[in-house]
Amino acid sequence: MQLAHQQCYIANTLNCDVAVEPTFDVRGKYAFGDSDAAQRRLALLADLFGPSSRSFLVEHAPRPARVAVDLGCGAGLSTRLLAEATGADRTVGVDTSAPFLAAARAAAPAGVEFVEHDATQTPFPEPALGADVIFARFLLAHLPDIAGTVSGWLSQLHPLGVLVLEETEAIETANPVFRDYLALAEQLVASRGGTIYAGFALARLAASSRTRVTANEMCRVPVVASRAAEMFALNFGVWRSDSAVGESPDTLDNLADCLGRLRETGGSEYITWTIRQLALSPAESLG
């Protein structure tokens, strides 16, 4: 699995003419699903990481925005955040999940709409074309071609538009339960061609001459252990039966029990995410 992870990282980030053929099984499906439990997990994620996303968007997204686009919008919480942070006249959430989109539309405020579309495919549908802001948080981690995907997204911007990206670069914890969970999550995401630590790929993009970097920051987000365990338990309940999780049922049962106990008695312990936040514009916009 370590070899697969290395191949995944190379395939995601290497800008050269060498064809890299990874040996992992690229399944093309979001690893954490779109069930009710997955929606609860996204709600918790929005609560934990929304404040840092909002601050970065307020500072680095153009205002006022005509059109803002949220890629991999899920049930729409990040889309509403994007609308509020940018003051956009029109905000469009993009996702492939019918259950997520139904939930998003049911709670959509005025000026916010949703379309079913694969975010890796360009051109985007009409509502999302020529955006002033395109936003994607924790989406590139699940995609096999980060550099190519970002290049396509940049092509969908207004000439003076900004692409705002957020991805995890590290998760720091001394807790063995969290470390075991993260090792399994990394394995599962890698089996689909992704990498949960996609922030490293963003760092490489920031050095690319094909983009103009308007912001490149690192944000540390400490999360109390009980809330992290709650989020992880929701993930775990979705994907523990996945064939890519190569652990025995007893091992998985034990991990589930440990996460449950941490959710109830996490105390004052923290687990800390380091998030790379990047704002990019097409190089041509330099004039």
Q: How do residues 113-143 score in pLDDT, each as one tens digit? A: 999 999 999 999 988 889 999 999 999 999 9
Of residues 283 and 17, more confidently modeled = 283
Rounded to the nearest 10 degrees, the angle between the axes of helix 36-60 and helix 225-239 is 130
- Please check the confidence at residue 15 and state whether its pLDDT lies above 80: no
Report yes or no on 186 lying in a domain: no
- Please check the confidence at residue 13 and state whether its pLDDT lies above 90: no
Report yes or no on 52 lying in a domain: yes
Cα diameter, the chain: 60
In the block, residue with structure tokens 């995944």: 8
Structural domain containing residue 47? 2-169+193-223+273-286
Contact 65, 86 (CB under 8 A): yes
Mean predicted confidence (pLDDT) in 45-52: 96
**Distance from C-alpha of 135 to C-alpha of 72, rounded to nearest angstrom:** 9
Rounded to the nearest 10 degrees, the angle between the axes of helix 98-106 and helix 36-60 is 60
What number of other Cβ atoms are within 10 A of residue 148's Cβ? 14
Q: How far is CA 187 from its chain centroid?
A: 17
Q: How many residues does the chain have?
A: 287
Mean confidence (pLDDT) of the chain: 86
Q: How do residues 91-113 score in pLDDT, each as one tens digit? A: 999 999 999 999 999 999 999 99
In the block, residue with structure tokens 């998760």: 171
Report yes or no on 32 lying in a domain: yes
How far from 8 is each of 21, 156, 171, 233, CA to CA, in Å?
9, 26, 19, 26
Provide the number of structural domains found in the chain. Answer: 1
Mean predicted confidence (pLDDT) in 27-31: 50
CATH at residue 208: 3.40.50.150
